[in-house]
Amino acid sequence: MATVRPFQGIRYDPQKVDLGHVVAPPYDVISPRDQVRYYQQDPHNVVRLIAGEVRLSDTPEDNKYTRASGFFREWMRKGILRREPTPCLYIYRHEFVDPTTGLTHARRGILGVVELEPLGDGVLPHERTHARAKADRLSLTRAVEANLSPVFALFEDPRSAVSPILVAGMARTPELSIAGVDGDQHTVWSMSGTQPVQELAAVFRGSRLYIADGHHRYETALNFRDKQRRENPEAPPNAAFNYVLMLLVDVQDPGLIILPTHRVLHDLEGFDAPAFMRRLAARHDVVPRAGRAAVLAAMRERTPSHRVGIALGGEGRGGELPAFATVDIERRASTDPVSQLDVAVLHREILEGELGLQELLLEQERYVSYARDVDAVLDRVAAGEAQAAFLVRPPAVSDVVAVARAGQVMPQKSTYFYPKPASGIVFNPLDPAIRIVPA
């Protein structure tokens, strides 16, 4: 059901820049501190395009979007960026260290363009999107007229037809080999032969795509396409704006890793930790844990029940409660895949059921913020900067697929596929005059 095509991308010229100093993660995981670091790494770092600085002097004529457009065009004019001579697909191997285990993994996928279609049939989401983020990405896309970061999607390949094609392609000399400053290794091979491209296209025609990361980018691409269709009614179906840049990874790839995103409670008026814990203990199995290491070890255990880890601030505990505990919540018999997720149970039973924090408040992050670094989360609680932390276990890749197939979505920030594909490997130009060639 997915239409995947080669494209004539735009890439950094490795003779003019150090590729390891110009790539970066997607915009949504770049902190203010990261932004400064990437700005300093190289004057041509992709951060100037995807997450440019906001200035007090910004105007409608001079802002992060117009500056991104100016950088993009200037770098093209100077040859820092150059258009590929022919359309192709790319094999992208991303080697990294799992921060939870210290083990090295490699994830491989295919970079190509995919014909846009409404979400819900051939392309399935698993998370909600938010208007502010989509408006931001649409402004950037309109200014630069290019996909600057790929949507990260999963595909199914029950006959294992894709792997031999990738193995054959990776036997050749790579097009790019990038040692990132974060220690990750990015290796890229181009694939332009008719036979492998057609074979891959045939496989994808039989598979749905499940968005792993980049829901906002995909919906932005749909909005940009619709705008371009209105402004260019004569453009044919293979106009470039009808497609979006994607990284496609097999759902069975052993390098697919999902990290948990924990919840941090702060500034909730009237929060009474002892009363809160008594209510939890009356309904669920609450087990005190001896310390940080003990609660983290408990969160790694396999349990028949849902499990949530809790860390409580000293002031809120009043000295009568342990600093750490786990809460085991009995599973309900249900065919609803969302209800089987630990993070959904945390939201339903604790954040909403016990603390009264409804979905809108959680989305606004008024009392609950989200963080992936568990040590940083627990440090905030220990320092009195947060009232409590709720630790969760990550969903499995199979959970993501099941939720998407059911046409449902998880609570916000339920999945963090690690690591994100790098931005800056290749860009997809969306000028209305560009045509996407058949496979």
Radius of gyration of the chain measured on its C-alpha atoms: 23
Phi, psi of 433 (to 5 degrees): -85, -15
Judge whether 313 and 384 are in contact, CB under 8 Å. yes
Q: Which two tokens stand for residue 204?
A: 């994808």
Q: What pLDDT sits at residue 129?
A: 84
Mean pLDDT (the chain) is: 94
Q: What pLDDT sits at residue 215?
A: 95
Q: How far apart are CA 98 and CA 135, in angstroms?
A: 33
Q: What pLDDT sits at residue 316?
A: 55
- 153-202 pLDDT, tens per residue? 999 999 999 999 999 999 999 999 999 888 899 999 999 888 889 999 99
Q: How far apart are CA 237 and CA 432, in angstroms?
A: 11
Q: What pLDDT sits at residue 319?
A: 59
Q: What pLDDT sits at residue 131?
A: 85
- 132-147 pLDDT, tens per residue? 889 999 999 999 999 9
- Which of 415, 19, 51, 90 lies closest to 247, judged by CA? 90
Task: Name 172's Cβ contacts closer than 8 Å, sequence gap at least 6.
Answer: 189
- Percent of the chain at pLDDT > 70 equals 99
- Along the 439 residues of the chain, how does pLDDT read in single tens digits? 799 999 999 999 999 999 999 999 999 899 999 999 999 999 999 999 999 999 999 999 999 999 999 999 999 999 999 999 999 999 999 999 999 889 999 999 999 999 999 999 899 999 888 888 899 999 999 999 999 999 999 999 999 999 999 999 999 999 999 998 888 999 999 998 888 899 999 999 888 999 999 999 999 999 999 999 999 999 999 999 999 999 999 999 999 999 999 999 999 999 999 999 999 999 999 999 999 999 999 999 999 999 999 999 876 565 567 799 999 999 988 889 999 999 999 999 999 999 999 887 887 788 999 999 999 999 999 999 999 999 999 999 999 999 999 999 998 889 999 999 999 999 999 999 999 988 7
Q: What pLDDT sits at residue 320?
A: 63
